[in-house]
Structure 1
Amino acid sequence: MPNGTPSQIRSIDNLYGPDGKLEAVLNTGRDDAPYSALVCHPYPPAGGTMHNKVVYNAMKVFSSLGLPVLRFNFRGTGLSEGVFDNGHGEQNDVRAALSWLEHNLKRPILFAGFSFGSHVGLRACCGDVRVKGLIGLGLPVHADGRDYTYGFLPKCIEPKLFLSGDHDPFGSRAAVEAVLEQAPAPKQMVWVEGADHFFQGVPGSPAPKLDVMRREMDMWLRSEFGLS
């Protein structure tokens, strides 16, 4: 971490959503950090947790810029209380996490979510005055028989970055770009060449692309919010 002590990770024992306690961890940041960050994980029934590789790498970008970063498990995931609610109740879990950050860290908030976590988190964060920037990673449109709709996007006036692999089976270029037409500026869409939904490589370009994802996030955050 620049200009300060190394980031440390600590368990959070007082984050409660409407259905009970939510398992959470905080990567600490610089004392003078201008923002805090929240990162949300992918689809729980498919094994998504706050320790997912894409979520971890997104956290590392925020942490490398000195920001404190909160990750948590949605209801019914890991040690979090409650039962999976197909993305409905999970929006209130996100709002509980935002309130925890507001109360405990007292800074404006930047959000990033991956896959299911991007859809649920964007729904909860769009238009929330506490949230100053939004990052959607692997934005899903259709996955395993589930359709993800984005009628809420017109109220997302905050700066937005969207990052997806150009071989993402859950969000094709045509489908995602059609969705993002609804979103007002400022917005940026980056297609990571040779990457699948999880920013892993594909035949012909097998190397993982998580480093590309991290680099694009870092550049956008530095440019949009003056972070260093």
Structure 2
Amino acid sequence: MKSPQFEQRFIAGPAGRLDTLVLGSALDGSPRGIALVAHPNPLQGGTNTNKIVHTLAKVLSRRGYVAYCPNLRGVGQSEGEHDNGQAEVDDMAAVLTQAQADHPGLPLVLAGFSFGTFVQSQLAARLGEAAVERLILVGPATAKWDFPAVPASTLVVHGEQDEVAPLAAVFDWARPLNLPVVVVPGAGHFFHGKLTLLADVVNRWFGAATGQAGGAAAGH
């Protein structure tokens, strides 16, 4: 297994360049897929250097994916202005276009944390279920943003003691979708001291998942 490092790239987006960190596949040989990882709310300091973003990217890299972690518009060195999760979907779609040009024909994983889950759930809805191999939502703030419906195979991970996105609101959103939620005991919104457990949850979900039925298998 290789030990790739994050590399900075600038990708053309609809509002200008997008400052993006790319982490190659850690597996030998060709990558098995591409992954896009979206950062938390920039109005609270969220960027692509967030620890949960990097945790997700590293898990996906070890699974053989090339992970693209952009700063969305108005964040870091990315151009444009913050748009509360609306036009940011277009930014992520532009990163996807570049990723697919770099690695054509590979399966796609979308992952996000907090604000990033709102962006990625919208992109998944736009692309359609057949286009997204897996969707990973960590700490979705479902009380703050109007989330679309997501596939039943989606992995939702939430902290029991989330002080930003109340767990009860996530259950209210997930209940009519019959969507399992993996609750990490004792974890707050930023999973301080729980990042290894978060990585384990994602890894177990990949190990148990089979096709589109994967999320439910690991969602007990």
Q: What's 1:221 paired with?
A: 206
Q: Give the TM-score, by structure 2 length.
A: 0.87
Q: Give the aligned CA root-mean-square deviation in angstroms.
A: 1.8
Partners of 1:127 and 1:157 within 8 A in 2: no
- For residue 48 of structure 1, report the CA deviation from its aligned partner: 0.4
Deviations 1:33-56 (A, max 9, x none): 321111100001111000001111
SS of 1:33's equivalent in the other structure is: coil
| Residue 6 of structure 2 is aligned to residue 9 of structure 1 | yes
| Residue 191 of structure 2 is aligned to residue 199 of structure 1 | yes
Q: What's 2:145 paired with?
A: 148
For 1:172 and 1:11, the matched residues in 2 are separated by: 34
For 1:109 and 1:59, the matched residues in 2 are separated by: 13
Amino acid at match of 2:191: F
For 1:158 and 1:22, the matched residues in 2 are separated by: 31
Cα 1:45–1:160 shift into 2, 3 Å: same
- For residue 116 of structure 1, report the CA deviation from its aligned partner: 0.2
Stretches of 4+ aligned residues off by more than 3 angstroms: none
* Deviation larger for 37-46 or 92-101: 92-101
SS of 2:181's equivalent in the other structure is: strand
Q: What's 2:20 paired with?
A: 24
* Deviation larger for 120-129 or 64-73: 120-129
For 1:133 and 1:188, the matched residues in 2 are separated by: 14
The one of 12, 37, 43 equivalent to 1:45 is 43
How high is the sequence identity, in percent, across the aligned residues? 32
SS of 2:77's equivalent in the other structure is: coil
After superposition, where does 1:1-228 map in structure 2 within 5 Å? 1=1, 5-13=2-10, 15-29=11-25, 30=27, 31-106=29-104, 107-126=106-125, 128=127, 129-142=130-143, 147-150=144-147, 152-153=148-149, 156-157=150-151, 159-183=153-177, 187-200=179-192, 208-224=193-209
- For residue 127 of structure 1, report the CA deviation from its aligned partner: 5.1
Specify which structure has the higher proportion of helix: 2
Partners of 1:23 and 1:79 within 8 A in 2: yes
Q: What's 1:203 paired with?
A: none
Q: Give the TM-score, by structure 1 length.
A: 0.84
For 1:101 and 1:223, the matched residues in 2 are separated by: 27
For 2:117 and 2:111, the matched residues in 1 are separated by: 7
For 1:188 and 1:35, the matched residues in 2 are separated by: 25
Structure 1: stretches of 5+ with no match in the other structure: 201-207
For 2:20 and 2:210, the matched residues in 1 are separated by: 26
Partners of 2:152 and 2:177 within 8 A in 1: no
Deviations 1:78-132 (A, max 9, x none): 0000011111111111111121222211211101100000111111123524321
Partners of 1:132 and 1:159 within 8 A in 2: no
For 2:16 and 2:151, the matched residues in 1 are separated by: 31
